[in-house]
Amino acid sequence: MLPLSDTRGTKRFAFITLLIIVINVIVFLFELGAPDTEEFMLNWALVPANVNFASVESLSRFITNQFLHAGFVHIISNMWFLWIFGDNVEEKFGSILFLLIYLLSGVIGGFSQYIFAPSSEIPMLGASGAVAGILGAYYVFFPHHRIRTLVPVFGFVRIVSIPASIMLVYWFLTQVFSGVGSIGYAAMGGVAWFAHVGGFVTGYVVAKIFDSVHIVEYIEDESLL
């Protein structure tokens, strides 16, 4: 299933969402223009075997790797999902908190993948974990929004309006099952499924806490009236 758009607009411009996309595109252009692309990747990607928890520089790769991508399909798919789901979540959280949660989801997503292959020398890169965090938050905040989605039906592709809750649960379960199936092969590279899972869970948990705090504040405010 490929999401095309959600059916609910926002009242404010999603500046941080757009800024993240622009930065990712600029970094990708630097990748393409680098004299040695492989060296560029190794310098800024997350290489599990090089992680040193006593080194700030080493740990910074949990952030810098989020702005690298392995190819056009990789960056387009990540930025497409961010563009569709990011604006609503940014409006809900506010710009600064949105950015922090985006980066936190990417860090925890990267660590989730790291623990399955800590000795791997294959670079981990991509915004997938961070974007997954936004999907997790979207699931909490807007489960009843409908997503216009390309869906294959009996060999044909149709555009169907699907509740966000159904689409995101389906997406999350595919990541979990794919991740479980990849256990034992994580050190060999491929899709970082557990980064997606870790990122999604991070966004989901933070959004739940955010919602709970706001509900409590609302009840307290009402009780004062």
Please say whether the beta carbons of 129 and 196 come within 8 A: yes
Q: Is the pLDDT of residue 159 over 50?
A: yes
DSSP letter, residue 46: B
Q: How many CB atoms lie within 10 A of CB 151?
A: 13
pLDDT of residue 218: 44
More confident residue, 211 or 75: 75
First to last CA, the chain: 48
Please say whether the beta carbons of 133 and 199 come within 8 A: yes
Q: What is the pLDDT of residues 93-132, one digit of tens each?
A: 999 999 999 999 999 999 999 998 888 888 899 999 999 9
Mean of the per-residue pLDDT values of the chain? 88
For residue 5, the SS3 value is: strand
Report CA 194 to chain centroid distance, whole Å: 12
pLDDT of residue 183: 65
- Record the pTM: 0.89
Q: What is the pLDDT of residues 14-46, one digit of tens each?
A: 999 999 999 999 999 999 998 988 888 888 999
Domains annotated for the chain, with CATH where assigned, are: 9-145+163-223 (1.20.1540.10)
pLDDT of residue 214: 63
Rg of the chain (C-alpha set): 18
The C-alpha atoms of residue 204 and residue 201 are separated, in whole angstroms, by: 5
Q: What is the pLDDT of residues 138-155, one digit of tens each?
A: 999 999 999 998 888 777
